[in-house]
Amino acid sequence: MIAHGVIFYLFAIITVFAATMVIFSRNPVHSVLFLILAFFNSAGLFILIGAEFLAMILVVVYVGAVAVLFMFVVMMLDVSLAEMREGLLHNLPLGAAVGFILLMELGFVAGGWVFAPDASNYLFAPITTVGLTNTEAIGNILYTHYIYYFQTAGLILLVAMIGAILLTHRSRPGVKKQNISDQVSRKPSDTIQIKKVKSGEGA
């Protein structure tokens, strides 16, 4: 139990530190790297409570896709830090108002929350299916009772992916675009000129 507590506090402290640095880091690339660190340590916390499925999803989806996508977007856009600071100062009053409203809502939720004495019986209820891990039990429920919702979410993600591809490959003036059909159908005579140079008359 002592080792379990030490590991928990280690992961928790690193997660809070990384999350804080995501906000206060001046370099956007550093913010993304700290975000990845926070995701990994959060996955470690999930493993400690026996939720290996959530830990796997956190690493595969958020670290493997979202955080890496953020990294590539930040690097390709060549973000100007001066423009970011100007936009921050311009939108500071609105951001402060939204943050204050969210803080008040969190305060109302925390103030009105009462711990139920029998909550632990529901949080740590054993899995009804004997001999299955929680990952297998989640899969059985997900692909039986919630299969239509799961497929609907997949279709929404597919439409979003197609929309992102279409927005990226839209025709823009002044941008060269590869035309594969023209490259495949062209003939050697269109691009190559064969000239017979006499000896001693070359360049």
- Residue 152 has what pLDDT? 92
Domain assignment of residue 181, yes or no: no
State whether 76 and 138 are in the same domain: no
State whether 11 and 71 are in the same domain: yes
Rounded to whole angstroms, the Cα distance separating 77 from 172 reads 17
Domain with residue 33: its CATH number is: 1.20.120.1200
- Residue 79 has what pLDDT? 57
The pLDDT of residue 28 is above 70: yes
The full DSSP string for 33-72 is HHHHHHHHHHHHHHHHTT-HHHHHHIIIIIIIIIIHHHHH
Number of domains composing the chain: 2
| Mean pLDDT of the chain, nearest integer | 77
State whether 10 and 69 are in the same domain: yes
- For 91-147, write each residue's pLDDT tens digit: 778 888 888 898 888 787 777 666 556 655 655 545 555 667 777 777 888 888 888
Rounded to whole angstroms, the Cα distance separating 18 from 23 reads 9
Q: To the nearest 10°, the Cα dihedral for 126, 128, 131, 136?
A: -90
- Residue 130 has what pLDDT? 63
Domain assignment of residue 100, yes or no: no
State whether 2 and 76 are in the same domain: yes
State whether 141 and 69 are in the same domain: no
The pLDDT of residue 35 is above 70: yes
Look up the domain containing 147 and give its range: 131-170
Domain assignment of residue 117, yes or no: no
Domain assignment of residue 68, yes or no: yes
Domain assignment of residue 143, yes or no: yes
Domain assignment of residue 89, yes or no: no
Q: Measuring CA to CA, which residue among 74, 66, 65, 64 is closest to residue 30?
A: 74
Rounded to whole angstroms, the Cα distance separating 115 from 136 reads 30
